[in-house]
Structure 1
Amino acid sequence: MQKKWIAAGTAALVFMCTAAGAYAGANLKPIKAFLNPSMKFQVNGQPFQPQNDNGAVLAPIVYNNTTYLPVRSMSKALGVAIDYNQQTNTIYLGEKAEGVSVAGTFSGDFRTKDPQLTTYGDKDYKDVFFNNSSGTRGASFMLYPKGKYTKLYLQVAAVGKDVEEIFVQDADTDIKLKIGTVAVSEGIKTFEVDISGVNDLFVHADVKSGGSLFVPLTTSFYK
């Protein structure tokens, strides 16, 4: 119901951007509107107050008998991913049509672009997380989608030994969003993870002695 509501109400939303230059070159028209700070909100039965990214309270705008709400604040309240492309002056709500590589949001050790380590099977993935350390261990890294995406498609391969547990966790709430296994015989395996409204992700796998974890960053992507 939440996603249907936000889709139906998109036409009645106004994008609040704090950067003064964000509207440069846009077709802006002056209007006479009113702020309505007395309007109250509830989301899923709980009181909700729209705020900007700095925590300042935002009031709805009333224009021509239509109430306009701050889209970024409402998208966060409803768990709907949002992003803005300044060059095309386009707001993206929900899943994007094209995938975006996770490489730009990766943080952690064992990242490599060495062709001797980035090749799996017959393909060179160019940029990978490859934990080939010794002993039984945890292999982990961080991803930072910053609430811009709805889905994560994470590709993983177990090398040498099966991975009996791998999980993707919301780093802010410690809620595990996906738990699975990866067998050597499966080759490159893709996990689809719902990450709507999630800012920071913790990815962790338990790797056995003699085994390695291979994660191609160029073909793992957000939507």
Structure 2
Amino acid sequence: MKSKNKWLLAGVATACVFSFSMGAQAAGSLEKIQANLNHGIKFILNGESWNPKDSNGAAVKPISYAGTTYVPLRSVAEATGAEIKWDNDTQSISISTGDQEATRQPFNTSNVSHVKTYTESGITNNVDELLFGETQYTSAFVVQGVNSANQGVTFKIKEGTKKIGISIGFKDPKGTNATYSIGTKTSTFATGSVNNGTVVTNTLDIPKGTTELILEFKGQPGANGKGYLLWDESWLEK
């Protein structure tokens, strides 16, 4: 992340705080203060509303103390691409804001999740339906009832994701094919077609702040296909 990325909060000077286990050796350096959680501050990240969260996904409110507003450093760093490390031996925090080597992670339950919508979609581990040719897949997002009316599966990716690679499959007992698109509610990142019983791949750059994506399929009239986003060969980079 380059230094030109800045946070602006109207009317306050802003500092950051970091949540970690300090250990007994830091007890002598602690000073007791009286501060207040500030529920009135709103955050804007790259033009979009953003709320800081802790490592468990719970909302974290900023703290106001002596004219300065403190926000959680790790939450801000992960949202803007910086790397944070805590050294318990030296009681020091390291912050790296330069270009970091991309870390690629396969899709799994810790970095992607299904979003329930009106469509008949979810996660499947049915190995019988996840056999494409001679390749056996083990997990996938799936949407059922794909026909000429668009059907999609909505899913969330980990905050701070910069790029994803996805494997898309389609099956229809009637042998028809389908087209697909992937993006957000307001933007389309990629489109393509997928034949019955086959898998295609896409690599997508993810705009900053994007955490929810929609993979949508459109089949033939009268079809009853299933569209898949296959986890085994899908990945994300931060």
Range of TM-score over shorter length: 0.5 to 0.7
Aligned residue runs from structure 1 range 55-134, under 5 A: 55-56=61-62, 59=68, 70=73, 72-73=75-76, 76=79, 80-81=80-81, 96-104=102-110, 105-107=112-114, 108=116, 109-133=121-145
| 1:140 and 2:146 matched | no
CA distance in 1, matches of 2:25, 2:230: 41
Letter in 2 for 1:220: S
| 1:168 and 2:166 matched | no
Instruction: Report the aligned-residue RMSD.
Output: 4.6
Query: What SS class does the counterpart of residue 151 from structure 2 fall into?
Result: strand
Comparing both structures, which one devotes a greater share of its residues to helix?
1
Residue 222 of structure 1 deviates from its aligned partner by: 1.3
Long gaps (5+) in structure 2: 6-14, 32-43, 54-59
Deviations along 1:31-81, one digit per CA (max 9) or x if unpaired, are 99xxxxxxxxxx9999xxx985434267589xxxxxxx94643664xxx34
Distance 1:99 1:27, change over 3 A: farther
Question: 1:114·1:126 contact (CA, 8 Å) conserved in 2?
Answer: yes
Question: 1:157·1:189 contact (CA, 8 Å) conserved in 2?
Answer: yes
Distance 1:81 1:24, change over 3 A: same
CA distance in 1, matches of 2:24, 2:155: 33
Residue 185 of structure 1 deviates from its aligned partner by: 8.1
Residue 120 of structure 1 deviates from its aligned partner by: 0.9
Of 20, 23, 47 in structure 1, the residue corresponding to residue 21 of structure 2 is 23
Deviations along 1:12-42, one digit per CA (max 9) or x if unpaired, are xx97444xxx33569979599xxxxxxxxxx
Long gaps (5+) in structure 1: 8-13, 33-42, 62-68
| 1:4 and 2:2 matched | yes
Distance 1:148 1:136, change over 3 A: same
Query: What SS class does the counterpart of residue 233 from structure 2 fall into?
Result: coil
Q: Number of matched residues?
A: 185
Query: What SS class does the counterpart of residue 129 from structure 2 fall into?
Result: helix
Letter in 2 for 1:204: E
Distance 1:134 1:145, change over 3 A: closer
Q: TM-score, normalized by length of structure 1?
A: 0.59
CA distance in 2, matches of 1:161, 1:110: 22
Q: Which residue of 1 aligns with 2:194?
A: 183
Deviations along 1:120-163, one digit per CA (max 9) or x if unpaired, are 11111111234453643333222222413211211102334333
Query: What SS class does the counterpart of residue 62 from structure 2 fall into?
Result: coil
CA distance in 2, matches of 1:194, 1:100: 16
Q: Which residue of 1 aligns with 2:165?
A: 153
Q: Which residue of 2 aligns with 1:219?
A: 233
Distance 1:201 1:131, change over 3 A: closer
Question: 2:170·2:225 contact (CA, 8 Å) conserved in 1?
Answer: yes
Deviations along 1:89-112, one digit per CA (max 9) or x if unpaired, are 998976742323144423152532
Residue 221 of structure 1 deviates from its aligned partner by: 1.7
